[in-house]
Amino acid sequence: MLSIILSLVALVVVAVNASPIELEGLEKRGLATVYTSCKNANQVALTFDDGGWIYEAHVVDTLNQWGAKGTFFSCSVNSCIYRPSGECIYDKSRMSNLTHAYNSGHQIGSHTWRHLDLTTLSWDQVHDQMWRTELAMQRILGVSPALMRPPYGNLNNNVRAVAANRNQSIVTWDFDSGDSVGLTVQESEQRYAQIAKQHPKNILTLNHETYASTVYTLLPYALKTLSAKGYKFVTVAECLNLAPYKKSGTTYKPGKPDGSWNC
């Protein structure tokens, strides 16, 4: 009986000191599902992180030429690793890239706002990083991503709890092209050649659209090499049998930029 009383007191103390966001998380008491690989046979999900960068339109056009679908995990501001100072997801060119990818039938996922290591942040901070990117997608595309990829693939239960609170699932990968860790394009091609030779049931890739070598050389090689093995190129949502975007009681519609559209 004493232990029950103490537990109730502890919950009251937490409730009194918690923010509304934290209370929302306590009420949900869930952890988001983490997907590390696809489910369906003979499918490859090509994913591209850190967009929408200046090469995104070319990635989209290349995928379209192959009849392939890809997934773009997008972040928002110059802190998304490669951004020149001051660049923002609401810049006209970046919105155009995202719209082109979305209208071409490719999937847009969340890579959070500033590409921070989410495992170093509090609940409120993680929530803010996710929410800002979702809001941008609602404004620009009229949709809210149901799938997110944490920067660096780093996650913990706090990240999973916030994602669950936001009705999102988490996606990592089972094949890394190595383009972001210093591999040459030839070394990345060797990785694709090796995985093609192994011919697993399916492949969930990690690439970055911020490297010209990935966009202009590695991507065509990957498409040619994996296509020769009979794989079909699909979105992450399709390879997982999931909806790409969250359903809501409110129907989102692309908006018109105003003074609130800033980073």
Domains observed in the chain:
34-174+231-240 (3.20.20.370)
Distance between alpha carbon 109 and the CA centroid of its chain, in Å? 4
Tokens 């993680």 sit on residue: 126
Sign of the CA dihedral with 19 first, then 20, 21, and 22 last: positive
Asked if 180 contacts 139 with a C-beta cutoff of 8 angstroms, the reply is no
Using alpha carbons, list the distances in angstroms from residue 60 to 74, 141, 178, 244. Answer: 14, 16, 21, 17
Instruction: Please list the residues that pair with 24 across neighbouring strands.
Output: none
Asked if 51 contacts 209 with a C-beta cutoff of 8 angstroms, the reply is yes
The per-residue pLDDT string of the chain (263 residues; one tens digit each, 9 = 90 and over) reads: 444 444 433 433 333 333 333 333 334 559 999 999 999 999 999 999 988 888 999 999 999 999 999 999 998 765 465 555 567 889 998 899 999 999 999 999 999 999 999 999 999 999 999 999 999 999 999 999 999 999 999 999 999 999 999 999 999 999 999 999 989 999 999 999 999 999 999 999 999 998 999 999 999 999 999 999 999 999 999 999 999 999 865 567 888 999 999 88
> In 3D, which of 57, 104, 111, 64 has the Cα closest to residue 233?
64
pTM, entire model: 0.86
Tokens 């599902």 sit on residue: 33
> In 3D, which of 108, 106, 114, 156 has the Cα closest to residue 131?
114
